[in-house]
Amino acid sequence: MQQTSTLNRRITLASRPTGAPTEANFAMTTSPVPIPAGGELLLRTVFLSLHPYMRGRMSDAPSYAAPVAVGDVMVGGTVSRVVQSNHSDYAPGDWVVSMHGWQDYAVSDGKGLTKLGTLSQPSWALGVLGMPGFTAYVGLLDIGQPVAGDTVVVAAATGAVGSIVGQIARLKNCRVVGIAGGPQKCQAAITELGFDACVDHYSPDFANQLKALCPAGIDVYFENVGGAVLAAVVPLLNVGARVPVCGLIAHYNDTALAPEPNRLPWLMGTLLKQRVKMQGFIITDHYATRYGDFVQHMSTWLKDGALRYREDIVDGLERAPQAFIGMLQGRNFGKVIVRVGAD
Amino acid sequence: MQQTSTLNRRITLASRPTGAPTEANFAMTTSPVPIPAGGELLLRTVFLSLHPYMRGRMSDAPSYAAPVAVGDVMVGGTVSRVVQSNHSDYAPGDWVVSMHGWQDYAVSDGKGLTKLGTLSQPSWALGVLGMPGFTAYVGLLDIGQPVAGDTVVVAAATGAVGSIVGQIARLKNCRVVGIAGGPQKCQAAITELGFDACVDHYSPDFANQLKALCPAGIDVYFENVGGAVLAAVVPLLNVGARVPVCGLIAHYNDTALAPEPNRLPWLMGTLLKQRVKMQGFIITDHYATRYGDFVQHMSTWLKDGALRYREDIVDGLERAPQAFIGMLQGRNFGKVIVRVGAD
């Protein structure tokens, strides 16, 4: 079922998941395309970003952002075109980036919209030039503080954030070791992204392989995963290591503490003995201070060909739930973008 | 058995402990008082500091400092007097602070010695004006970065470090909530040290009491304990909280991961959602850059009566093992100092 000019398809949260989300947690509803009032504009979604943080919004556990209410449209970053405008700053055909969620159409009063200029790839506003790229930039540079010669380990190495973290670290003359799921992703991290090495976390020998690839220990670990990946990293952390905590995808479906030995004191002991700094961050805190620097640097790197970026494009809004579930399982390769409608 | 002028009593590591140390892990040997060669001086120990870090040195697990070899004298900070000097910088009767361990006498070539001026209380060079005071200063101010109005929670509140952390935080106009073992220590934290409140971690209702005393959450948690204390603190950490990790006394006797639910992902989730910075530190890293500031500030605070300090004096070198074991169990009250000999 394709995007039409008359119906607004909306994917809503049908129920809160317990553990891993399933397609039954989502519902598709249709309604007429909304009509903008005076001062408003009508947007048609072209691209929708899928991102692991959305798993958090499906839950009503306390977090840094309010949950999606059951029955509401799922949240998400979108790149849209203006269909109709009663707003003096926008004209039909303009490209804008906003947070209009998993649906075909939305009405806006202009708040929270950013007009896109002449991007050759408008969807990049949801990735390398948007929130994931900014997340990589702030987490690595401001918290990780890499210096030339450091060993930087990047979890989820071929994901939307990890792929950029590793490439920025290479630009800072660090040794970059990725961790990814499967030999193909590992190969791509090296050949496409220019990482020095990459380890497959599905390998039964994963921890030993990681150790062998970090002969001088780990100075910066960019955390996006948790679980067994973190457990393999901790013993390799050098004195003074920095650990930006950006995500914990291995745990987003946890429903209780795992009945396995308590590793918390073990982690704390390492932080102490090795003088490690571990710091969580949420990217929305940093737009006011660092977004300008990011856009300037990232645009230059992309223009110079210093940085490469891969998207995993999924065609059709109706496939968003399936693609989201797959992403949480690591089935994507690069930034997951749903092409909701034609350009 | 008192200190004599002819025998050097030495308490050595007889065997490495498994779990909590016992007196059987220590041995006392005697030997003649050593004789200084040219350029050397003979020191007589007056005060010996006991400190939880010594538990780490009894173990041969990898750490930030080399272990004490079995059969060697136990390490420790000492305040001594010069008995005999073949060194031009020192004369008999001079007070010095050094690391000469659990023994009556030591020969030194002058390296690592600091001459004490006219301290009214020479033992303070092992406490409020020495390593524990400096640890409190750097951990709280440089890592904890308290600002006026913050809620600062201090574990081991009446210990050598915690008692100073809390008082510096009060001087910075923070709300200070201590955590200590037993109602008497809690009472002293409030009446003697000026903390705003203090919670007894032995209370069955400990976590709820802590929550009630931190109605605005926790901005800085000075970690010296781990275990159940940390578990009660983590849910109360505010957005942007700072956690200097100074010690983990609840875990120094651990021999394996505890067979209880794994709280590591739970901690990581809090670091992420609340953007917490958790950072371990070892005080020896900071002397070159911050010791001068510390001495200047702490001396002023003490002179002005802005800061109070309590010692738990134990008489006799032979009682050091028992006092050390008691300290690890929280039986001390203030900084533990062994008076090895007369002034």
- ipTM computed for the complex: 0.89
Overall CATH class of domain A7-127+309-339: alpha beta
Distance in Å, alpha carbon of B120 to nearest chain A alpha carbon: 34
Residue B36 pLDDT more than 80?
yes
Tell me the two tokens of residue A44: 């048609």
Q: What are A311's two structure tokens?
A: 């998207």
CA distances (Å), origin A321, targets A26, A314, B214? 7, 11, 41
Cβ atoms of A159 and A136 within 8 Å: the answer is no
CA torsion sign for A115, A120, A124, A129 is negative
Chain A residue numbers touching B279 (CB-CB < 8 A): 271, 275-279
Contact A199, A177 (CB under 8 A): yes
Q: Quick one: pLDDT at residue A165?
A: 98
Q: With an 8 Å Cβ cutoff, is B61 touching chain A?
A: no
Would you place residue B254 in the very low, low, confident or very high pLDDT band (cuts 50, 70, 90)?
Answer: confident
A64 interface with B at CB cutoff 8 Å: yes
Can you say whether the dihedral through the CA atoms of A152, A155, A159, A161 is positive or negative? negative
Residue range B135-173, pLDDT digits in tens: 999 999 999 999 999 999 999 999 999 999 999 999 999
Query: Which helix (H) or strand (E) segment is B230 a member of?
Result: helix B227-233
Cα A4 vs. chain centroid, distance in angstroms?
Answer: 29
CATH 3.40.1390.10 fits B7-127+310-339, yes or no: no
Tell me which DSSP letter residue B37 carries: -
Considering only CB atoms, A275 lies closest to which of B227, B239, B281, namely B281
Instruction: Determine how many CB atoms are found less than 10 A away from the CB of residue B297.
Output: 17
Strands A237-245, A277-280: pairing is parallel
Domain ranges for chain A: 7-127+309-339, 132-283
| % of chain A beyond a pLDDT of 90 | 90
Which residues does residue A47 pair with via DSSP β-bridges, in sequence order? A79, A339
Chain A residue with Cα closest to B226: A265
Between chains, do B261 and A265 touch, taking CB under 8 Å as contact?
no
Residue type, A79: V
Distance from CA of B246 to the nearest CA of A (A): 7
For B133-283, CATH number?
3.40.50.720
pLDDT (tens digit per residue) in A184-203: 999 999 999 999 999 999 99
CA distance A71 to A63: 20
Interface mutation vs chain A, best among B264, B266, B274, most A CBs within 10 Å: B264
Q: Which residues contact B230 (CB under 8 A, 6 or more apart)?
A: A264, A268, B155, B223
Mean pLDDT of B74-100: 96
Which helix (H) or strand (E) segment holds residue B292: the answer is helix B287-303
The pLDDT of residue B334 is 87
Give the position of tokens 């002293």: B188
Q: Which residue do the tokens 């070791």 mark?
A: A177
Tokens of A165: 């973290």
Residues 6+ apart with CB under 8 A from B247: A272, B52, B53, B156, B161, B223, B224, B225
Closest alpha carbon to B301 in B124, B158, B151: B124
Residue B47 — very low, low, confident or very high, per pLDDT cuts 50/70/90? very high
Measure CB to CB from residue B261 to each of A64, A230, A257 and give the nearest one: A257
| CA B241 to centroid of chain Cα atoms | 24
Above 80 in pLDDT, residue B119? Answer: no
CB B66 within 8 A of CB B336: no
Q: Nearest to residue A101, comparing CAs of A134, A163, A63, A58?
A: A58
What residues in A contact B259, CB-CB < 8 Å? 261-262
Question: Of the candidates B248, B257, B275, which has its C-beta nearest A261's C-beta?
Answer: B257
Average pLDDT value for chain B: 95
Under-50 pLDDT residues of chain A: none
The pairing of beta strand A151-154 with beta strand A218-222: parallel
Confidence at residue A338, expressed as pLDDT on a 0 to 100 scale: 98
Using CB atoms within 10 Å of the CB of residue B27, give its burial: 0 to 12 exposed, 13 to 18 middle, 19+ buried: middle
B285 touches chain A (CB under 8 A): yes
| pLDDT attached to residue B65 | 87
**Class of the A132-283 domain?**
alpha beta
Question: What's chain B's length in residues?
Answer: 343
Nearest chain A CA: its distance from B29 CA (Å)? 32
Query: Could you give the CA distance from residue B31 to residue B307 in angstroms, rounded to a whole number?
Result: 42
Contacts of A273 in chain B (CB under 8 A): 62-64, 280, 282
For residue B325, give every residue at least 6 positions away whose Cβ sits within 8 Å of its Cβ, in sequence order, or none. Answer: B20, B21, B22, B23
Which residue is associated with the tokens 């910066």?
A: A220
Contact A265, B258 (CB under 8 A): yes
Tens of pLDDT, residues B199-233? 999 999 999 999 999 999 999 999 999 999 999 99
Please tell me the distance from the alpha carbon of residue A309 to that of residue B14, in angstroms, as a whole number. Answer: 61
Neighbours of B109 (CB within 10 A): 14
Taking the model in full, what pTM does it have?
Answer: 0.91
Closest C-alpha to A282, from B243, B272, B270: B272
User: Pick the residue with more confidence: A251 or B27?
Assistant: B27
Instruction: Please choose, from the candidates B105, B86, B78, the residue with its C-alpha nearest in 3D space to the C-alpha of residue B6.
Output: B105
Query: How many CB atoms within 10 Å of residue B207?
Result: 18
Quick: pLDDT tens for B281-291: 999 999 999 99
In angstroms, how far is the first alpha carbon of chain B from the final one?
A: 17
Question: Hey, CA dihedral for A66, A161, A291, A143, is it positive or negative?
Answer: positive
For residues B328 and B343, give the distance between their C-alpha atoms in angstroms, rounded to a whole number.
27
DSSP B60-87: -S--SSPPPPTTSBPP--EEEEEEEE-S
Separation in Å, CA B137 to CA A271, A276, B17, B123, B179: 19, 19, 32, 18, 18
